[in-house]
Chain A
Amino acid sequence: MKTSNPLWRDRLIGKMPEALASELDIFEAEINLRKMGKLDERVFMETRLRRGAYGQRYDNGERHDGKKVQKMAYPRPELTKGPNTLWDAPGMQRIKIPGGGLNAAQLETLADLAEEYSDGIAHITTRQDVQLHYVHIEDTPTIMRRLAAVNITTREACGNSVRNVTTCPYAGVCPDEVFDVTPYTKALSRFLLGHPDTQNFGRKFKPALSGCSQHACALVNLHDLGLIAATRTENGVEKRGFAVYVGGGLGAVPYQAKLLDPFVPLEEILPLAQAISRVFARLGEKKNRNRARMKFLVQDLGIEKFRELVQEERKALEPDPRWTTYIREAEQYREEPLRPAGRLPEGGSPEFQQWFRTNVRRQRQEGYVVATVTLPLGDITARQLRALADIVRRFTNETVRTTVEQNFVIRWVSESDLPELYEALQAAGLGAPGAGSIVDIVSCPGTDTCKLGISSSRGLAAELRKRLAEKSFQMDEAVKNLHIKISGCFNSCGQHHLADLGFYGVSRKMAGLAVPHFQVVLGGEWEHNAGSYGLPVAAVPSKNIPEVVVRLTERYVADRRSGESFKDFIKRIGKGEIKKLLEDLTRPPADQRDRSFFRDWGDPREYTLDDMGIGECAGEVISSSDFDLAAAERQLFEAQVALEKGEIEKAGRTAYQSMLSAAKALVKTELESVPNDPDRIVGEFRKRFYDTQKFFDPYAGGKFAQYLFGAHEKAGQPYTEDSARFLIDEAQLFIDACHNYSSRAEALITG
């Protein structure tokens, strides 16, 4: 699309690493082949994904404009960049930033690219990547070349590959870390990038490194491969290594990573990662994407068997000098300050003091601090990126890191420079306080740009941020430090499972209309590298979520015990009490003439297709199928309460029952007299909704139905705490999918 695209290649020859330049020439050739119809669209899709060029909402050429589904009149509707993905529809470019580390020149390049090829905004993701939205596929080779010229690759940023290696952004300066994991992040990232043993995965593979186990910064427990720094003394000599975890993951059903080995010495880290990759490539699911993440492989095999397979694979590996050549350099790695250590001058404005309290933390190196640059919803403008480049040049050795909370951190700031740094950040609109607090809300792109979004996570995040920021001065300290995380759907890109207050988008029918909702997920633990995951408690209409936050936080302030965390508070008062607290918010308003309730945040379009009518609830007909779905919700809630009480068997059985009720609800729409026999319900469901693919989610396919089949197959077997918990999560998703199907089916009938 850019006129200058052909000129950039020549301009940058000699400025890019040769191998990368050659890869990008190949990618550009593949684009041309696809345009000529000489490359299959599926092959091209995986090719571009492996270069970080991802799809975006409405790229199938259809968009619901608030009145009807509109066919977008693209100039080349016959040309696709993947199945059902039109060539000219804008997409998203993900840019891998290992460990979130960027220098000033890289910030400036990102600024230029955001301005010239996107909408002027660079978006920081929950995995320390940078994303540009609304990018045309034909601009991507130039974008990649310009990135390559500053030593950034987008290779394997998406697709079934090793994704960005994330790391604690305080590595090297954190007072509690065992050692600085930065050089090991770089080594692992380099080693796995394009490695032949990582090219045949059934799904993505996400690694993370942390310098300690107690903080949240790298969220190791939710990763496919997680490394936590550890040391061991051998013959009086302290040796560095890592505790290695595998099989963690969020997604629809979250899994905590399992400990593979409590101490792996440095020289074994890369070969171990290679061996794990080989096991995953060999035995990981390939056909069913919904079971293809490593967490399922570890769960299915059991950690002991998985460990055994990895050890066998390790023994069979041909030695590679890269396993150890990096170690000497890594051990000598030091990040140096630009300015001498100093002391914070006395005084400062109230604004500075407020920012200092929330956004500054002391380094382990005396006289230096880390300053957090809070980005609203992870967004930063091109001009702000340039200002940030100037700031890091002025105060540090030109480095900055992105965080999983969608912010930047500036490290190695001399304390005496803080007032000047604050002034510079303020001038660039980057001096907002509240880092890591309740106003620093994490959100995935949701319905704004993501194809999978169900509700507007960014719209809700912006609204909550606005409301909470207004009140933040008067907030109780205990509330100020809570975390809110929002995902637009069950896939958890907003990491809602880890938050004190988590939300993920679902849709529900109310008064005969589809209404955007969020599942409220409570009790997650952000600390301890994502120590535990929250559980859904209720689906609440989007427009009532701010009130959910108010009620829960007020109740916490009023009833918490001394020093009690929000997670412990939620556990103590129990789900029954919470349900009572939120019960009225789950219902539609009595006066439904105000249509805004049925729309999503920041989106004036009606959420449903074209059948919304004012006050139609008066004539609403509740079918017996709707009653069965409500029963399913009730049973699921009972299962959650049972799990909370430690009644594992009951929790598992009731969750399974809730799935049967939901399945029966759908079967009833076609077969009024469905018997109450689980085999018949599941059989009829399979025949009528799965085999016909009617139940298939547009993107997740038959995944949710498979949860039902799996639960039915295992019915009667004893439940463990883990299996009951997974089943509850799966039941919630299955019921959500039944609601979605029901809304879709109704829209088809009335549309």
Chain B
Amino acid sequence: MDKLIADLKVQIIEQLNLQDTKPEDIGDDQPLFNEGLGLDSIDALELIVLLQQHYKIKLSNAEDGPKVFKSVKTMAEYITEHQPKV
């Protein structure tokens, strides 16, 4: 899980063009939206793209979004649970 969380932080910075942010600036439990990392609705769409591109996971239920994208840790947990088994 730690490796996945570390990878996700790098991928989020790259996908969302957060060039002034370093992976260590993002806390595992830090909220990604609003008062946390300050992401917006377009960033939310880019996170969905990230899940599809890097982990082949399609978010089937849009209502799951706020729960899945609450923090890097919740994203990692969702990926671990839903990533297709090879």
A pairs with B: no
> Which residues of B line the A interface, CB within 8 A?
none
> Which residues of A line the B interface, CB within 8 A?
none
